[in-house]
């Protein structure tokens, strides 16, 4: 952890009992709260990417000379602060959603009792994220119609066939973020600004947070190097720039390929409608 330029992930999840009174199998209020919590965590820890599905959030971090490991790489303090901050932000976001009067989910949301635990791992592969998320979303959908005993030892395919034939429920009809999770990155974008001296309107480049289904990673080249560079780049549309290794010389063909990849993937992302809280402002 104390060595620079070694990527790692911070994984946070909450107790599933908290979501019991919410709509099954999918409640958009939970999804919104989780996405905004993930964004707050990404801003707080200066993560390169965040990924969330169900009740879990994964942060991809890359310590560098300009962005050293949080808390000097002290694992115990890192996971303690991360779990506490995630709990505080999620409780804020879930209590800010709309609820019907006397709705049990609303009563629980306003009690501020949701909490997360955290652990640090090596960065999981994009394929692991996709498979894990699909397994969880199919299981969640199945649990809305069947008991745990009825689903015991049934494969994803078997569960999907049961849902289709017995309840006319199609997994593919659900939103992408329920099926595959949400990937969050930061990209550079041109914006209209005001020159403070001349008061004239000028074009400025600013970073903005954007999100997309994690399935966009399947559009990367055959090997995982392009995916890794995309995930760990400071900005999604600048993965061809060796920011952390300015003296490194890249092959022009490889640089062009990465630029094309960045442009293609970045177009699939949409801006957030939420501005992350500035923890130290």
Note whether 50 and 42 are within 8 A (CB). Answer: yes
Residues 252-278: what's their mean pLDDT?
A: 75
Structure confidence at residue 249 (pLDDT): 41
pLDDT tens-digit readout, 151-209: 888 888 899 999 999 999 888 888 888 888 899 999 888 888 888 888 888 888 888 99
Asked if 112 and 203 sit in the same domain, the reply is: yes
Whether 140 and 198 map to the same domain: the answer is: no
Q: What is the pLDDT of residue 100?
A: 94
> What's the confidence (pLDDT) of residue 82?
93
Q: What is the mean pLDDT of the chain?
A: 81
Q: What pLDDT is recorded for position 91?
A: 96
Whether 172 and 223 share a structural domain: no
pLDDT tens per residue across span 193-249: 888 888 888 888 888 999 988 776 766 554 556 677 777 888 888 765 444 443 344
pLDDT digits (tens, 9 = 90+) for 146-166: 888 898 888 888 999 999 999
- 103 and 192 in a single domain? The answer is yes
pLDDT given for residue 189 in this prediction = 84
* Banded model confidence at residue 252, pLDDT cuts 50, 70, 90: low
Confidence of residue 88 (pLDDT cuts 50, 70, 90): very high
Query: Do 116 and 105 fall into the same domain?
Result: yes
Instruction: Mark which of 180, 199, 217 sits at the end of a domain.
Output: 180
Regarding whether 149 and 26 lie in a shared domain, the answer is: no
Q: Which residue has the higher pLDDT, 5 or 24?
A: 24
Report which listed range, 60-69, 142-151, 247-256, is most confident: 142-151
pLDDT digits (tens, 9 = 90+) for 114-142: 999 998 876 655 556 556 666 777 888 88
139 and 63 share one domain: no
With 90 as the cut, is the pLDDT of residue 106 above it?
yes
Q: Based on the domain organization, do 190 and 175 belong to the same domain?
A: no
User: Residue 37 maps to which CATH number?
Assistant: 3.30.70
Please check whether residue 12 is in contact with residue 117, taking contact to mean a CB–CB distance below 8 angstroms: yes
Per-residue pLDDT, 192: 84
CA 122/CA 228 separation, integer angstroms:
13
Domain boundary among 136, 154, 180: 180
Domain count, the chain: 2
Q: Are residues 42 and 115 in the same domain?
A: yes
Range of the domain at 137: 126-180
Mark whether 175 and 191 lie in a shared domain.
no
**271: closest CA among 187, 210, 198, 189?**
210
Domain stop point among 136, 159, 180 = 180
Instruction: Say whether both 205 and 268 belong to one domain.
Output: yes
Sorted by sequence, the CB contacts under 8 Å of residue 257 that are 6+ apart come out as: 221, 226
Q: Are residues 73 and 112 in the same domain?
A: yes
């Amino acid at each position: 952890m104390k060595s620079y330029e070694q990527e790692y992930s911070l994984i946070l999840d909450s107790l599933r009992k908290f979501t019991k009174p919410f709509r099954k199998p999918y409640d958009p209020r939970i999804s919104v709260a989780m996405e905004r919590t993930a964004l707050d965590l990404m801003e707080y820890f200066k993560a390169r990417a965040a990924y969330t599905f169900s009740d879990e959030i994964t942060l991809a971090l890359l310590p560098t000379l300009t962005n050293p490991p949080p808390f000097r790489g002290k694992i115990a303090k890192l996971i303690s602060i991360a779990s506490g901050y995630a709990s505080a932000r999620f409780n804020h976001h879930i209590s800010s959603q709309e609820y019907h009067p006397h709705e049990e989910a609303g009563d629980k949301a306003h009690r501020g009792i949701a909490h997360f635990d955290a652990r640090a791992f090596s960065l999981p592969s994009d394929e692991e994220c996709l498979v894990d998320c699909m397994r969880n979303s199919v299981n969640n959908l199945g649990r809305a119609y069947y008991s745990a005993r009825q689903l015991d030892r049934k494969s994803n395919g078997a569960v999907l066939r049961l849902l289709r034939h017995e309840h006319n429920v199609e997994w593919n009809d659900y939103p992408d973020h329920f099926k595959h999770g949400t990937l969050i990155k930061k990209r550079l974008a041109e914006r209209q600004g005001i020159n403070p001296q001349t008061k004239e309107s000028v074009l400025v480049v600013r970073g903005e947070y954007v999100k997309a289904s994690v399935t966009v990673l399947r559009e990367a080249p055959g090997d995982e190097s392009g995916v890794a560079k995309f995930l760990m780049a400071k900005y999604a549309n600048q993965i061809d720039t060796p920011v952390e290794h300015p003296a490194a010389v890249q092959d022009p063909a490889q640089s062009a390929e990465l630029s094309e990849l960045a442009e293609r993937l970045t177009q699939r992302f949409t801006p957030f409608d939420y501005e992350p809280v500035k923890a130290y402002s």
